[in-house]
Each structure stands twice: as C-alpha cells, then as structure tokens.
C-alpha cells in the first residue's frame, strides 16, 4: 500500500512505515492536482499538515483512499465527518506537539515581559549610537514569578503550559468546556511525581483575574476574545494566541493595545494566514512567529512515529 506524505513526515516515521511494508512517497502535490495524483498512483493513505485541504470532492473521487492523517492537533482542513461516513479513517496526533507549543508560549511570554521582541529590532539599528536611550526605553520589565496565568482551553497543550507556569512560580487558573477541577502531574528526576489540582472557571471570571492570558482552543465560528472581553481584563494584561487564527479578534486586540489595556501580545497564528495584516506585523507591542508552535525537531519525530503506528494499527490488523 502507498502512503503520500504531502506535507512531509519525519525520517523515523518513514522507516516505521517502510518496515511494515508500506511504500512512502514524500512529495508536495499542488492542491489542484491532488485528486488526480491520488487516483493515478492508487494512494491508500494521505498524510497532511495544515497546508493541504481534504474536502468532499477528494474523498468521493479517490477510491483507493483508506486513511487520512493530520500531523498535529487541529483538523479543520479535513472534512472529518464526511470522510468517516464514507468509511475513510481519519487520524491525528493530539499529544505529539503539546510540549513544543507550550514552550513557544513561554518563549513569547519571557520575551514579552522584557520587551525583547522589540529591543531585538532596534538594537542592531541604534545600539551603537543610542545605547543609553535604549537602556532606559527597555527598562521597567516585569517578572512572571508570582503573577497569574489564565489558560483558556485546558486540554493537552493547556496542561503542558500549566506545568511550566507552576515550575516558574506562577499562579494558574484555567477555563474549559466543563467547570470544576482538573488534575495535572508534574514529573521530576528519579521518577518522582506530584499531582496538582487546577480549578477551572468560566472565561468571564478568568479574564478578570489574570495578569497574562493564553489561548489553547480549537478553531471557532467567532472569537473567544473580542472587545467585550478586553474591557473586563486587567489594565496592562499580556495575551498570547498560539492556537488558531480567529479565536482572538485582531482588530479588538489592536484597539486594546492602543488604549493601554493590553501591554503586549504574542501571535503565532493569524486570521489571514499566510498573509497576516500589516498593522499587526508592524506593531511594536506584538511578538510574532509564523505558526511554528509544533515545529520542533522532537515534535516532528513524535508526529511521524505516532502517525505511522496508527496507520499500521488500522491497515495491518491481520
């Protein structure tokens, strides 16, 4: 059976599939040519990331297709319900990139509270001529220790974020679909662990009490955070979106930055990818990255192996 990794797959994933008898094709086929390629080459498994869309037309037209795999968490680029109704299995890797995304959140957080994202722009330009002025401009940073981090969406990624936050001495509050209490496990050297209960509460309460807010929810029909939510936040709040474009109202964010309600923001995902609004890209109060939350070497290795193992489990049952 043939596997097309249209958006790539790690070498360890390739080897795992080959050892199980699969032929793996790593090739980027353009969206408009994908249907023809899948049929012509009798592809049984299509592996994608966010760049490739798998709609009803492809699912109906590609008679050899048995499995669609998404390297990552979100599957909004795949018509999952329709695929399953046609007997096509749909798989993803919800836990493989959790740590990578969580670490990126804190890369932005640490940089944001010390204005590193902006000083890195200006030091190369004026560091030799205006050193003292820049030193004064970027003084007055704040510490994360002792501050409250609000985590909206307390699934796998949200819980990894909580672990790091607790490790550096932050207070954590969370919001999820169900209100109550969730438990996370911190792991230490020599197999030592400790379980910590985290209270969950409605978003309306969380945003009032948080010094920093990070979003970890799937794609939504409307923003989770908009103008009304910004009004309820503390003055000088920091906010991070490493989830999906559209869960944060970007125009409302810019207005909140302009008013001083938001001290800094960090965006890894955008409403208009791959062409984010220029007014976001040019704003000195926003730390930016090009949707790289899951893009670490370790995460890609885990994703490849996890996809391979699921494919083998589905198609090699005999």
| Active site residues per annotation | 244, 273, 291
For residue 183, give Cα distances in angstroms to 162, 168, 272: 10, 18, 35
Specify the DSSP class assigned to residue 268.
S
Give the chain's largest Cα–Cα span: 71
Helices (H), the chain: 11-19, 31-40, 56-61, 80-85, 98-113, 116-126, 131-137, 156-167, 203-209, 227-232, 250-259, 278-281, 297-315
* Ramachandran quadrant class, 55 (left: phi over 0; alpha: psi -120 to 50; beta: rest): beta
Distance CA 18, CA 177 (A): 40
Kindly state the tokens that stand for 165: 């936050």
For residues 156 and 184, the answer to whether their CB atoms sit within 8 Å is: no
For residues 213 and 237, the answer to whether their CB atoms sit within 8 Å is: yes
Distance CA 30, CA 275 (A): 19
Distance CA 236, CA 79 (A): 40
HSE-up (13 A, CA, CB side) for residue 20: 24
């Amino acid at each position: 059976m043939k596997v097309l990794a249209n958006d790539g797959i790690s070498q360890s994933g390739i080897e795992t599939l080959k050892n199980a008898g699969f032929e793996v094709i790593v090739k980027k086929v353009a969206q408009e040519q994908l249907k023809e390629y899948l049929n012509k080459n009798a592809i049984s498994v299509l592996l994608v990331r966010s760049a490739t869309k798998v709609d009803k037309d492809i699912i109906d037209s590609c008679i050899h297709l048995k499995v669609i795999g998404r390297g990552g968490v979100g599957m909004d680029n795949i018509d999952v319900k329709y695929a399953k109704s046609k007997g096509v299995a749909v798989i993803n890797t919800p836990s493989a990139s959790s740590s990578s995304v969580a670490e990126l959140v804190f890369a932005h957080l640490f940089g944001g509270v010390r204005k590193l994202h902006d000083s890195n722009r200006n030091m190369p330009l004026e560091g030799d001529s205006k050193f003292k002025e820049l030193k004064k401009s970027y003084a007055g940073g704040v510490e994360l220790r002792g501050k409250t981090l609000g985590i909206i969406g307390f699934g796998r990624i949200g819980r990894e974020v909580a672990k790091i936050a607790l490790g550096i001495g932050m207070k954590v509050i969370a919001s999820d679909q169900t209100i109550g209490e969730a438990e996370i496990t911190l792991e230490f050297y020599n197999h030592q662990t400790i379980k910590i209960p985290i209270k969950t509460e409605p978003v309306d309460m969380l945003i009032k009490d948080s010094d920093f807010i990070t979003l970890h929810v799937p794609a939504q029909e409307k923003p989770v955070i908009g103008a009304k939510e910004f009004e309820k936040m503390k003055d000088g709040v920091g906010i991070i979106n490493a989830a999906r474009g559209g869960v944060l109202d970007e125009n409302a964010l810019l207005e909140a930055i302009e008013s001083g309600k938001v001290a800094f923001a960090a965006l890894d995902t955008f409403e208009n990818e791959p062409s984010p609004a220029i007014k976001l890209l040019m704003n000195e109060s926003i730390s930016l990255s090009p949707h790289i939350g899951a893009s670490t070497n370790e995460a890609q290795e885990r994703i490849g192996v996890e996809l391979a193992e699921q494919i083998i489990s589905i198609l090699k049952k005999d």
